């Protein structure tokens, strides 16, 4: 097995990186893939909570890097799926506990053991971000349809280009169709117009995402929700399938019949 | 001068430490530098380094590797000075400064008709947020200038694309400088000492040229001839 390392990053905080990593991981794992998630947000770990694995942490990423445990010992298996693992971040340390070369070494060791390594990058463009992208084969840039989030995404895409980690793929999270229709929110087209990179996912706003995160049961376990479906679609696209984009902006019955859009 | 070896010179300057590389191979120089840092960690602790790369031609991989290696020792690489335009370009792309506070002495040519005949900086890609371009002459961008990107030009600036960031033309006081774009909707516009804020929010920009007229900054649709 040779895993592909995918990093999810955004520049701005709070756009949904951690939730997306959890959900895309669940999506990939439910396609029978062997997935390891790494929480890159050392000092502010969240991915364990969103995945509902907080109480099972014994060793973490920093323990592996500093040689206090073997890689295998830090991998927490999610029992709900056959092949989903988490390597949690340390909560009591900070970003400087790990270096970009540590991450490359760790991912190289992991590559033989799984199909996908998903790295949850912290917000910002400093050390934690650099650690998270160091080993990436593919970067997903996450944004919300808000001017400030798009601005930060643009900056991150610029940095990824400069470091030859591009071309990144775009995920637009938390689209509210009603607001877009009123002209109060940037549309998918507006965001793509500015960022000019390829799209890999559009996720509609869904209150249940918050409920699911709080419970530690990612949305993607429930196939019926639109947001959960959107994350499954991203997972399928990562696998190379061609999945049409959900038409989140025209959900009304009449629009669906009369508009000629996909 | 604090320490001198044949190929690496290190001296303290106001902005931090200036490290000058000689002509030896890049790998040898960087490993020598890292060794010095390991030997004297106290001296280098949380230092801010300006690298004078001389005539070394550096790509992204070399600079990223050096920057990351330095940051593992708690050292920030914040500027790269170079004689090579390739290296300067790489450094700019990585968001590193390519000049330190005192700019080299400049003699600004007397541009007669706004866009003078001197060489222009030709940028063949979109400038994304956080990119800053500084150039003494004219700048031509073949792509967009996104919000959050900045161009500081001694001469005029032409954008063959959408201008939505910040542009300062005639930054050294040249009042004849102009700014033009296919879609003209800059966040803020400066020509010489004048600053204007775009009045039209959210409207699609048109092909326009801005210049100083009787001391006022005006933008008007472009007419040929």
Rounded Cα distance between A219 and B148, Å, is: 35
Closest CA to A134 of A102, A168, A100, A107: A100
State the nearest Cα–Cα gap between B43 and chain A, in angstroms. 20
Q: Which residue of B has its CA nearest to A98?
A: B72
pLDDT value for B112: 44
In DSSP notation, B80-128 reads EE-S-HHHHHHHHHTT-BSS-SSPPP------SSSS-SS-EEEE-S-B-
pLDDT tens, per residue, chain B with 225 residues: 444 456 888 888 877 888 988 888 898 899 889 988 888 888 888 888 899 998 899 888 889 989 988 888 888 898 898 888 888 888 888 878 887 764 444 444 444 444 555 678 999 999 999 998 988 899 999 999 999 999 999 999 999 999 999 999 999 999 999 999 999 999 899 999 999 987 765 567 788 999 999 989 998 888 776
Burial level of A208, CB count in 10 A (0-12/13-18/19+)?
middle
Tell me the residues of chain B between 88 and 107 that have a Cβ less than 8 Å away from chain A: 93-95
Query: Which residues of A lie closer than 8 Å to B, measured between beta carbons?
Result: 96, 99-101, 127, 130, 134, 147, 151-152, 154-155, 157-159, 161-164, 194, 196
pLDDT value for B223: 77
Quick one: DSSP state of residue B135?
E
Query: Do A118 and A25 touch, CB atoms closer than 8 A?
Result: yes
- Mean pLDDT within A126-137: 95
Query: Do A220 and A27 touch, CB atoms closer than 8 A?
Result: yes
What tokens were used for A229?
A: 């479906």
Rounded Cα distance between B127 and A196, Å, is: 12
CB-based contact, B61 to chain A, within 8 Å = yes
pLDDT value for B200: 63
Rounded Cα distance between B5 and B35, Å, is: 13
Rounded Cα distance between B48 and B74, Å, is: 9
Domains of chain A: 4-258 (3.40.50.300)
State the nearest Cα–Cα gap between B184 and chain A, in angstroms. 15
State the nearest Cα–Cα gap between B98 and chain A, in angstroms. 15
pLDDT in tens, A76-104: 999 999 899 999 999 999 999 999 999 99
Nearest to A162 among B60, B74, B148 (CB): B60
pTM above 0.80, yes or no: no
Closest CA to A134 of A169, A159, A115: A159
E strands within chain B? 3-4, 8-13, 16-21, 48-52, 76-81, 120-123, 132-135, 138-141, 150-153, 157-163, 166-169, 179-184, 188-191, 194-197, 206-213, 216-221
Count of Cβ atoms closer than 10 Å to residue B96 Cβ: 19
pLDDT in tens, B149-172: 999 999 999 999 999 999 999 999
B129 and A158: CB-CB below 8 Å?
yes
Query: Do A86 and A37 touch, CB atoms closer than 8 A?
Result: yes
Burial level of B180, CB count in 10 A (0-12/13-18/19+)?
buried
Nearest to A164 among B60, B74, B131 (CB): B60
pLDDT in tens, B112-135: 444 555 678 999 999 999 998 988
B126 and A194: CB-CB below 8 Å?
no
CB-based contact, B71 to chain A, within 8 Å = yes
What tokens were used for B132?
A: 């800053």
From residue B154, how far is each of B108, B119, B199, B214 by CA, in Å? 8, 12, 25, 20
């Amino acid at each position: 097995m040779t895993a592909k390392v995918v990093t999810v990053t955004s520049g701005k905080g709070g756009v949904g990186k951690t939730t997306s990593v959890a959900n895309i991981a669940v999506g990939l794992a439910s396609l029978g893939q062997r997935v390891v998630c790494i929480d890159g947000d050392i000092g502010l770990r969240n991915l364990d909570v969103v995945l509902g694995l907080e109480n099972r942490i014994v060793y973490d990423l920093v323990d592996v890097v500093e040689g206090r445990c073997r890689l295998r010992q830090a991998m927490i298996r999610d029992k709900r799926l056959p092949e989903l693992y988490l390597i949690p971040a340390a909560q009591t340390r900070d970003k400087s506990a790990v270096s970009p070369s540590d991450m490359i070494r760790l991912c190289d060791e992991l590559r033989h053991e799984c199909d996908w390594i998903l790295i949850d990058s912290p917000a910002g463009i400093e050390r934690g971000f650099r650690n998270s992208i160091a080993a990436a084969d593919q970067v997903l840039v996450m944004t919300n349809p808000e001017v400030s989030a798009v601005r930060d995404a643009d900056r991150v895409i610029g940095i990824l280009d400069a470091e030859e980690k591009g071309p990144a793929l775009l995920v637009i999270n938390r689209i509210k169709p009603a607001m877009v229709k009123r002209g109060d929110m940037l549309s998918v087209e507006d965001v793509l117009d500015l960022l000019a990179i390829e799209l890999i996912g559009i996720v509609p706003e869904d209150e249940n995402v918050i409920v699911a995160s709080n419970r530690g049961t990612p949305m993607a376990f429930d196939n019926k929700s639109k947001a959960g479906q959107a994350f499954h679609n991203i997972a399928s696209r990562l696998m190379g399938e061609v999945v049409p984009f959900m038409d989140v902006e025209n959900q009304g019955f009449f629009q669906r019949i009369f508009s000629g859009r996909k | 001068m604090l320490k001198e070896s044949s190929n690496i010179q290190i001296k303290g300057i106001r902005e931090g430490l200036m490290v000058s590389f000689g002509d030896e191979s890049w790998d040898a120089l960087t490993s020598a530098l890292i060794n010095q840092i390991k030997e004297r960690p106290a001296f280098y602790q949380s230092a801010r380094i300006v690298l004078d790369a001389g005539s070394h031609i550096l790509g992204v991989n070399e600079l990223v590797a050096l920057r990351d290696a330095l940051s593992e020792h708690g050292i920030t690489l914040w500027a790269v000075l170079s004689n090579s335009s390739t290296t300067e370009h790489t450094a700019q792309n990585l968001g590193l400064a390519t000049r330190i506070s005192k700019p080299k002495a400049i003699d600004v040519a007397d541009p007669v008709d706004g866009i003078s005949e001197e060489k222009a900086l030709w940028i063949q890609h979109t400038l994304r947020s956080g990119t800053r371009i500084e150039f003494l002459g004219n700048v031509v961008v073949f792509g967009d200038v996104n919000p959050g990107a900045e161009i500081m030009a001694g001469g005029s600036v032409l954008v063959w694309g959408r201008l939505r960031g910040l542009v300062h033309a005639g930054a050294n006081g040249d009042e004849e400088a102009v700014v033009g774009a296919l879609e003209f909707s800059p966040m803020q516009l400066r020509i010489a000492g004048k600053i204007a804020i775009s009045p039209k929010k959210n409207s699609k920009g048109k092909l326009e040229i801005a210049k100083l007229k009787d001391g006022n900054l005006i933008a008007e649709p472009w007419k040929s001839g």
